[in-house]
A and B are shown apart, each in its own frame.
Chain A
């Protein structure tokens, strides 16, 4: 025990003498843990919200009867009740408001099983109020609804998830415009005996078990995987700092390790002590990282919630809850990360001969053999990445390809830089220039980890910003095509819709009905739209694949269009067919892009829709009119029919809302991008700071030969800028490959749509300048330290053993 205590005192005394390095190490690990645990906190919060959604009305406990084709007539419910079945109807749907989507649950409070009674209706007056139109919802949502003029009595209930409203089914049918329809029937746990089989009464219904995972949880899996991948990338970049700091501390303490071994500390004891030291750092930095991660998550969560709402219609609470599993997970990852970063150093200590050379090796000249080994490993990883890309499919293989490719590229960086610096050296003129190139090459081993971190951060930045930029360009163009109509209006009733149509016909160029039906398409909740045969669609609709005469086929009802998501997920192409509600096996005649919509969607001709789904109400219309007259028309509609503001929207507003949702969607990505780049800049700073002290023996002879300290300092800054610029140049192709994988592989698997890749050279130049600036800022401090060294410090190099 005495050995351990005495030796640990000596080991820890190193950090007391090098507090900056200790801060680097703890800071790196703290950052890595913070970014990772922040992302995990967001994921945990979102998943908890999905679980809460899945448990609304007891779906996670109760069996249900559903029609695989979508909502069905409430007559079926009545028939089952009459036959003696204890069932209760629920209508579930979504309402679109400026603030986002709202989940609406309509229940029959008289027949609802106890597990489904989310609000307390034990008092007769509460029950009566619900039947009379009272709406329950969470307090924040009610406040928003009240301010937007929602005309129903509202009562707050903390039991309901955010953005969820509960009301009587009759009220919901009216609000959701699904009169006479129910989404599913909840089955009481106990039923009378001797009942006729459900199949005899309602053969179209199927029994499904309790729902432990909501549809939205499955849909958003890919988003969370993306977020996790980004968190992992940030964590890996943070670990570069830790690995670098631990590695350098090891190199600096080689002499100490040798002395300890010589004085009687065994290799095993030394490794144990260093492991304990690493564990201690991991726990301290991990705890700090968890606190910082909580802060990051709290800042990012509202944007993530907006993203999930915009992309998937998934509702996530905007506030964070502290979960024990998250704490344990975060500390575990901190310990694991620190262990991984320290593993190589510990292995080397274990195998270090007692009398190993005491000189730090960080400045060792990179041997040809080592570079060759590293190149071989990097090329091997890149080859595996290509194989995975060619042979694998699915999201996991996409991420594997990304991971292998990035690691391979990072490993290749020192080799490429070494080559570039060698070529640069050939053109050097004069002794100082010769020394500069040679010395820069010699520094590569010490700086390569930090430069690799910079490469990863820059490549991620280029890749993600190219992906987002391509998405933005495509999305904007697509919106122009897709939102061709100038005004969109929704009537409040069928009678009003009829009156509207009559009134509008002579006043606008065209009245285009947009009638839709909620349905399950290929097992997923989706929508079937009926569209008119009009030039608006023929000229503008963004078709990705089609058969000849596609619009004629749609118009005569002999074909349907499906969206890209449905096409990709189910492998459906023009020529195939899809089963639609009413057992309509409809031939597919085209595929259209439908960015931002998570759900499957089918478009059918209006006549066919009208014939096959006559029960569906016909309330929504797109209006073609001279854009300059759109405002006046909306104003006339308001005064003529008293239509509330939220039932009409013009093209410009809907585009603005869509673009706002788009921008918020990628706010999180942007924030993580900036954080990752900052971490890489810190990695360079810490490496340069740490190495600056070890540089003295290299610089002292040059100083003695006649270079001033100031000039040496400037050369150090120039060197950092050169390395930053070269790394940025290497990062460009890596980032573009990353963007291609994101657009052509990951996005297709994650969202179901493929986007064309656009290039943004101005962004690259800016990013390159940012990389150079990061390197310059990082080099400024150590350079200043060097320029202010007293001559005595440099002279001591010649008189002391180092």
Chain B
């Protein structure tokens, strides 16, 4: 399933007048492709990712995922699309603190009615979380929490995974390990991956990298 963003524009108000964060971004992520989105702080990377996932609305432009036109959808339809087709990994993990690791991992799959216990179990194993299933997020290290978040994003077998600086809160070694496992698992499921990162080194490990500068894709 291809994600196609066409002429995406977004302006935020500020005390010094409106700020054009995205000024006509065109980006396509093909099925199974992994793309790194790099750029300076404040260049609009996260905003573009959020718009791609229907978390935020663009002021103008087209967002098409497979045959679905996100621009025409209301909140409930966008929520359903996210639930069924998109996996999201946040920099700040955003796990549900009151449920355990196993339940966190299977959560989105259950929401979508696509829970597969064996698949989840395999994910837990591949993520190196075996034995930690009954723990709660607060009892895990940052790296472990991000692995849980990755597992949650993949458990429903999404068409695309959107990752917003998934290693931004982790040290270098942990970042490597987490990215490795995410990359290989996304590849296993055949999903596309669009990952925001600051790191040129991490970006180089994906199929393609695009650079966002002054609200436009520059490479």
Closest 8 CB pairs between A and B?
Answer: A264-B83, A266-B79, A13-B98, A266-B76, A17-B98, A2-B113, A6-B110, A264-B82
Q: Which chain A positions have C-beta within 8 A of B94?
A: 255, 258-259, 262, 358
Q: Give chain B's interface residues, CB within 8 Å of chain A.
A: 50, 53, 55-56, 75-76, 78-84, 88, 90, 92-99, 103, 107-108, 110-113, 136, 138, 142, 152, 169
From B88, B103, B138, give the contact of A262 (CB < 8 A): B88
Task: Determine if A3 and B111 form an interchain contact, defined as CB atoms under 8 angstroms apart.
Answer: yes
Contact A2 to B98, CB < 8 A, known contacts A264-B79, A267-B75, A354-B56: no
Q: List 26 A-B contacts (CB under 8 A).
A: A2-B110, A2-B111, A6-B110, A10-B107, A13-B98, A13-B99, A17-B98, A17-B136, A259-B96, A261-B55, A262-B53, A263-B83, A264-B80, A264-B82, A264-B111, A265-B83, A265-B111, A266-B76, A266-B78, A268-B75, A353-B56, A354-B55, A354-B56, A355-B50, A355-B56, A800-B138
Query: Does A16 have its Cβ within 8 Å of any Cβ on chain B?
Result: yes
Task: Determine if A7 and B96 form an interchain contact, defined as CB atoms under 8 angstroms apart.
Answer: no
* Shortest CB distance A620–B (Å): 76
CA distance A263 to B93 in the complex (A): 12
Task: Determine if A13 and B96 form an interchain contact, defined as CB atoms under 8 angstroms apart.
Answer: yes
Q: Which chain A positions have C-beta within 8 A of B99?
A: 9-10, 13
CA distance A267 to B88 in the complex (A): 18
CA distance A264 to B55 in the complex (A): 10
Q: Which chain A positions have C-beta within 8 A of B108?
A: 263-264
Q: Which chain B positions have C-beta within 8 A of A261?
A: 55, 79
Contact string against B for A residues 770-802, beta-carbon threshold 8 Å, 1 for contact and 0 otherwise: 000000000000000000000000000001110
Question: Which residues from 236 to 276 on chain A have a C-beta closer than 8 Å to any C-beta of chain B?
Answer: 255-256, 258-259, 261-269
CA distance A13 to B104 in the complex (A): 12
7 new A-B contacts at CB < 8 Å, known A266-B80, A801-B93: A18-B98, A256-B96, A259-B94, A262-B88, A266-B79, A353-B56, A355-B50
Q: Which chain B positions have C-beta within 8 A of A358?
A: 92, 94
Task: Determine if A355 and B82 form an interchain contact, defined as CB atoms under 8 angstroms apart.
Answer: no
Task: Determine if A263 and B92 form an interchain contact, defined as CB atoms under 8 angstroms apart.
Answer: no
Pair count A-B, CB < 8 A: 88
From B75, B84, B98, B142, give the contact of A14 (CB < 8 A): B98
How would you classify the secondary structure of chain A's contact residues: helix, strand, loop or mixed?
Answer: helix
Task: Determine if B82 and A262 form an interchain contact, defined as CB atoms under 8 angstroms apart.
Answer: yes
Task: Determine if B83 and A355 form an interchain contact, defined as CB atoms under 8 angstroms apart.
Answer: no
Q: Which chain B positions have C-beta within 8 A of A10?
A: 96, 98-99, 107
CA distance A781 to B96 in the complex (A): 28
CA distance A256 to B138 in the complex (A): 14
Q: Which chain A positions have C-beta within 8 A of B75?
A: 266-268
Task: Determine if B110 and A269 form an interchain contact, defined as CB atoms under 8 angstroms apart.
Answer: no
The chain B residue sitting closest to A264, CB to CB, is: B83
Interface centre among B81, B92, B98, B107 (most CB of A within 10 A): B98
CA distance A269 to B75 in the complex (A): 10
Task: Determine if A265 and B92 form an interchain contact, defined as CB atoms under 8 angstroms apart.
Answer: no
CA distance A801 to B165 in the complex (A): 15
The chain A residue sitting closest to B112, CB to CB, is: A264
Task: Determine if B111 and A263 form an interchain contact, defined as CB atoms under 8 angstroms apart.
Answer: yes
Task: Determine if A259 and B76 form an interchain contact, defined as CB atoms under 8 angstroms apart.
Answer: no
Interface centre among A6, A7, A256 (most CB of B within 10 A): A6
Task: Determine if A6 and B111 form an interchain contact, defined as CB atoms under 8 angstroms apart.
Answer: yes
Question: Which residues from 14 to 28 on chain A have a C-beta closer than 8 Å to any C-beta of chain B?
Answer: 14, 16-18
Q: Which chain A positions have C-beta within 8 A of B79?
A: 261, 264-267, 269
Task: Determine if A801 and B92 form an interchain contact, defined as CB atoms under 8 angstroms apart.
Answer: yes
CA distance A261 to B56 in the complex (A): 11
From A3, A14, A267, give the contact of B83 (CB < 8 A): A3
CA distance A266 to B54 in the complex (A): 11
CA distance A200 to B212 in the complex (A): 107
Q: Which chain B positions have C-beta within 8 A of A17?
A: 97-98, 136
Interface centre among B80, B152, B169 (most CB of A within 10 A): B80
* Shortest CB distance A271–B (Å): 11
From A2, A13, A262, A266, give the contact of B55 (CB < 8 A): A262
Q: Which chain B positions have C-beta within 8 A of A7?
A: 111
* Shortest CB distance A31–B (Å): 26
CA distance A17 to B139 in the complex (A): 14
Interface centre among A18, A266, A353 (most CB of B within 10 A): A266
The chain A residue sitting closest to B137, CB to CB, is: A800
Q: Which chain A positions have C-beta within 8 A of B97?
A: 17, 255-256
* Shortest CB distance A169–B (Å): 75
* Shortest CB distance B150–A (Å): 14
Contact string against B for A residues 473-502, beta-carbon threshold 8 Å, 1 for contact and 0 otherwise: 000000000000000000000000000000
Task: Determine if A263 and B82 form an interchain contact, defined as CB atoms under 8 angstroms apart.
Answer: yes
CA distance A14 to B97 in the complex (A): 8
Q: Which chain A positions have C-beta within 8 A of B84?
A: 264
Q: Which chain A positions have C-beta within 8 A of B98?
A: 10, 13-14, 16-18, 256
Q: Which chain A positions have C-beta within 8 A of B107?
A: 6, 10, 263
Q: Which chain A positions have C-beta within 8 A of B90?
A: 262
CA distance A454 to B82 in the complex (A): 46
Q: Which chain B positions have C-beta within 8 A of A256?
A: 96-98
* Shortest CB distance B146–A (Å): 11
CA distance A18 to B136 in the complex (A): 14
Contact string against B for A residues 678-693, beta-carbon threshold 8 Å, 1 for contact and 0 otherwise: 0000000000000000
Q: Which chain A positions have C-beta within 8 A of B55?
A: 261-262, 354-355
* Shortest CB distance B143–A (Å): 12
Q: Which chain A positions have C-beta within 8 A of B76?
A: 266-269
* Shortest CB distance A785–B (Å): 17
Q: Which chain B positions have C-beta within 8 A of A13?
A: 96, 98-99
* Shortest CB distance A590–B (Å): 73
CA distance A2 to B111 in the complex (A): 6
Q: Which chain B positions have C-beta within 8 A of A265?
A: 79, 83, 111
* Shortest CB distance A199–B (Å): 76
The chain A residue sitting closest to B83, CB to CB, is: A264
* Shortest CB distance A792–B (Å): 12
Q: Which chain B positions have C-beta within 8 A of A14?
A: 98
CA distance A17 to B97 in the complex (A): 9
From B81, B83, B110, B169, give the contact of A801 (CB < 8 A): B169
CA distance A549 to B138 in the complex (A): 88
Q: Which chain B positions have C-beta within 8 A of A16?
A: 98
Q: Which chain A positions have C-beta within 8 A of B82?
A: 262-264
CA distance A354 to B108 in the complex (A): 16
Q: Which chain B positions have C-beta within 8 A of A258?
A: 94
Q: Which chain B positions have C-beta within 8 A of A353?
A: 56
* Shortest CB distance A794–B (Å): 14
* Shortest CB distance B161–A (Å): 13
CA distance A353 to B142 in the complex (A): 26
Q: Which chain B positions have C-beta within 8 A of A255?
A: 94, 97
CA distance A407 to B39 in the complex (A): 53
CA distance A263 to B96 in the complex (A): 11
CA distance A157 to B103 in the complex (A): 68
Q: Which chain A positions have C-beta within 8 A of B56?
A: 353-355
* Shortest CB distance B212–A (Å): 18
* Shortest CB distance B28–A (Å): 23
Q: Which chain B positions have C-beta within 8 A of A268?
A: 75-76
CA distance A6 to B113 in the complex (A): 9
The chain B residue sitting closest to A265, CB to CB, is: B79
* Shortest CB distance B103–A (Å): 8
Q: Which chain A positions have C-beta within 8 A of B112?
A: 2, 264
CA distance A267 to B80 in the complex (A): 11
CA distance A529 to B95 in the complex (A): 82
* Shortest CB distance B171–A (Å): 12
Q: Which chain A positions have C-beta within 8 A of B111?
A: 2-3, 6-7, 263-265
* Shortest CB distance A265–B (Å): 6
The chain B residue sitting closest to A7, CB to CB, is: B111
* Shortest CB distance B174–A (Å): 13
* Shortest CB distance B76–A (Å): 4
Q: Which chain A positions have C-beta within 8 A of B136?
A: 17
CA distance A6 to B138 in the complex (A): 21
Task: Determine if B110 and A263 form an interchain contact, defined as CB atoms under 8 angstroms apart.
Answer: no
CA distance A6 to B112 in the complex (A): 9
